[in-house]
């Protein structure tokens, strides 16, 4: 099972740097600070690269109150704050894609139906933000991309950054190909559905919060 520590150490190894004994290890110096600073940005970029099975979240959304689209569609739906990539927009729990005309623009989806059923890549700490759910291949790609991000400052090498980013891109493609088999076509169980109404988003346990 992957962990933040194991991914940090993989990135440090790629850069030829000292690895960490634990997350409180003060011997990591500037490299550790760079890893901390860039973790969320690199993680989000990797999550945005595909519809990862471990990061998919399903919600039912009501239209945003007090917001009227200027033209073209009847309803506007706010994207959740943990949204990183849309997987399916649908009119029912069966999540049949391609049947709902919609517009994705800025922080909203626009459509003529209500409610809207959406399955999306989430960075929430119980979905894509949960490192323990990551596949080994995704974790490897993440470590390469993290090493690429900090290489210019950690070891003063832009060339290493370019090489590592290319390796990371390749690793992401391989991870996506392997993960595709996990998506399947089964509908989600009713208990997994959460509802967002009046601008409120579900917390980790399925109830709504402001």
Give pLDDT tens digits for 116-169.
999 999 999 999 999 999 999 999 999 999 999 999 999 999 999 999 999 999
User: Is residue 85 helix, strand or coil?
Assistant: strand
How far apart CA 201 and CA 207 sit, in angstroms, is 8
pTM for this predicted structure: 0.83
Domain for residue 144, yes or no?
yes
Question: What phi, psi does 110 have (nearest 5°)?
Answer: -120, 135
Domain for residue 59, yes or no?
no
| Residue ranges making up the domain that contains 10 | 4-50+127-181
Domain for residue 14, yes or no?
yes
Domain for residue 15, yes or no?
yes
**What pLDDT, on the 0 to 100 scale, is given for residue 192?**
42
Total domains present in the chain: 1
């Amino acid at each position: 099972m992957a962990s933040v520590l194991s991914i940090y150490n993989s990135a440090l190894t790629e850069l030829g740097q000292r690895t960490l004994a634990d997350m409180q290890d003060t011997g990591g110096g500037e490299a550790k600070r760079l890893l901390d600073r860039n973790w969320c940005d690199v993680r989000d970029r990797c999550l945005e690269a595909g519809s990862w099975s471990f990061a998919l979240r399903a919600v039912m959304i009501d239209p945003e109150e007090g917001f009227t689209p200027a033209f073209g569609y009847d309803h506007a739906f706010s994207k959740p704050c943990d949204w990183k990539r849309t997987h399916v927009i649908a009119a029912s729990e069966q999540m049949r894609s391609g049947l709902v005309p919609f517009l994705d623009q800025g922080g909203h989806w626009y459509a003529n139906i209500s409610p809207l059923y959406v399955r999306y890549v989430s960075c929430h700490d119980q979905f894509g933000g949960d490192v323990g759910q990551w596949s080994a291949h995704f974790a490897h790609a993440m470590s390469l991309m993290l090493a690429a991000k900090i290489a210019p400052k950690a070891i003063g090498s832009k060339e290493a950054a370019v090489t590592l980013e290319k390796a990371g891109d390749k690793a992401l493609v391989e991870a996506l190909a392997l993960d595709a088999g996990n998506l399947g076509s089964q509908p989600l169980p009713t208990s997994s559905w959460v509802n967002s109404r009046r601008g409120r988003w579900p917390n980790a346990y399925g109830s709504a919060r402001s």
